[in-house]
Structure 1
Amino acid sequence: MNGLVGRASSVAAIAAVLVLMVPAVAAAQADPQKAALAQTLFEEADKAMNAKNYAEACPKLEKVVELIPEGIGAKETLADCYEGAGRLASAFGALVAVEGASVRAGQADRAQKARDRMAALKPRVATLTIELGDSAKGVTGLALKRDGADVSSAEIGLPVKVDKGEHVIVATAAGKPGFEKRITVADGEKQTVKIELTGEGGTTPDTGPKEDGGKKDGGTTGPQTGKPDTTTAGETNFFSPLRIAGLGIGIGGIAALGAGIGVGMHAKSLYDESNETGGCSADTNQCNGQDGVDLRDDAVMMGNVSTGLVIAGGVLAAGGIVMFAVAPSDKVEVGLGPGSLTLTTAF
């Protein structure tokens, strides 16, 4: 019976250690090369932002979000960069992404802050509506592009949010003359371009002076031109991705050390019990009964488990300390969701 109890205790101890070490293993699985590249890009973007060099900062921040897509703070920073650069539609799209990510992470205050910023930006954002004239309606194979990006049929007639500046609308269809229109919009303007395919064939792009293309009221949120909105940022924090990994590994190592000591103490108690009640001799290491033999076997097994845990725990703890010590500080997002705690970097 004592042998069965000892074996059951050892299995329980090992299972407990495995559960405790899961966070450390998960933290160690982060791609350190991506994290290092994202950190370098963010640091350079931060310098450019401080110098108000948004043309240099925004592309770097876009790449950071591509590398660390779960970072909510990074999206906030990219929204700041877009707004500073005067790209209000892009900033609005970035804040939409911030709101959605915040809701998924259970960060209600952050989501509301994004909504408030969106509400403040909306009257200042320009819109551009594409409509089909009579000569373009029902044309088979009609292809529309806005600034080189495809325009779907669902976008026709919608006031799409666009950044201020020049935009190019192109329409083509087999056997029909082409259409090209260049139009410049300012912040807050609502403009409309009507597609007309006229003439006897061939492409006849509009190369004349830039025109308003008409005015049209609107305000509904539509798809945005250019690259999908990706964004970034976060409050400065002592923790970087490497420090987070080091902390997780160190905690796992400490847990393993504690478990190893506990298992070792249990092994010692089994050894003492084999001497006291199992008929074993500490001097000759011989046992007179099967109970004593089982107790000794369990004590040896538990001792081996204890030794392994202590060694592994020491290595993990030391490695975690080194990672934590050498890692540069960065930014980190801590999200508390339903039944989960998430740590995501935001450079």
Structure 2
Amino acid sequence: MKSGVLFRSRARAAGLAACILTTITGAPGARADAGDAKRKADARALFEEARKLTREGKYAEACPKLAASLQLNAGIGTQFYLADCLEHVGQLASAWINYLEVVDATKAAGQKAREEYARARVDALQPRLSRLAVVVSDEARRTPGLEVRRDDAVLVEAQWGIAVPVDPGPHKISATATGAKRWETTAAIEREGQTVTVTIPPLERAARTPTQAASGPPAASPLAGTVLLPSTASPPSPEPRATAPEKPAGDPGSPLRTAGLVTGGVGLVGLAVGAGFGMTALSKNREGTGHCDVSNAGASKACTPEGGALLDESKTAATLSTVSFIAGGVALATGAALVLLAPPARKADPRGRTDAAASVLLGPDGISLVGRW
């Protein structure tokens, strides 16, 4: 009888675990597939609209749509058309970079014909590229904390002095350093094949703030081993010396009292758990007895399989209730003893709290221990 009930319980638990596992592992995959399909559909719609605009010669409107399509769903074809579009609007450096990436992608994919075509476009753009070099003077290099930027992108030292391809238009160059004024200028790229060089001069020192000026240089400290002689001028009137407030001593009874409150709280939880198991035991016993026939003035008892299982569960709950009551009582008594043995609490420090408290909350969702110390 017991083995049959146990088998059915394990079967139900295994089925429930399988359902939960399927829900956890299956749902995110389905959502990811749906999101991927939507992203690809959006990318395709943007690509088709951009191709329509390029056939109408509206490259300035088509380029942003191709860039958005490429961001949603990266593809060699989309990137090639983006490079072609950027070339038509005069952004030759951006077109050149995209052609180079197409060359790398087609080479990795083994698409020889497309690789050769993209490489030919790279070679054709090479002499038309405009370039910008940012040179840092020796004096500026020695400035502590120097940071150089081109169009808000930080240039590391290895990039200084290198002429790199840039698109036409204005480009902001700036330099900042510790204790120096910010230096900034704008370099204009106006035609194809143009190379512009910008040199960062020595940076000016930042003006001292009024607070820094009033403070002046720091006073010189006497050399080690020297004795300062009193001044011949009339000594200043003595000023009352401020007495530092005494640091309040810690409360020696606080750790013991805290331990007692925590232990007592655990004991209350144990008693509450024991009461819960006790009520469960009574309930299971009444329900199981209803499935049994008592004869011979209670000397023998014939029960159905379900009634026998309920009575077994009642015995288990009763045992757990007894154990919980014993453990809770011991913990509660120990906590009370610790609180009684703790020295009296000091008055609370106005800058901090020395009191402690703990409480047990019983609710429909479980038992909680809440405290502060």
TM bin, normalised by shorter chain, reads 0.3 to 0.5
TM-score (norm 1): 0.48
Higher relative contact order (CA 8 A, sep 6+): 1
Q: TM-score, normalised by structure 2?
A: 0.44
Bigger Cα Rg = 2
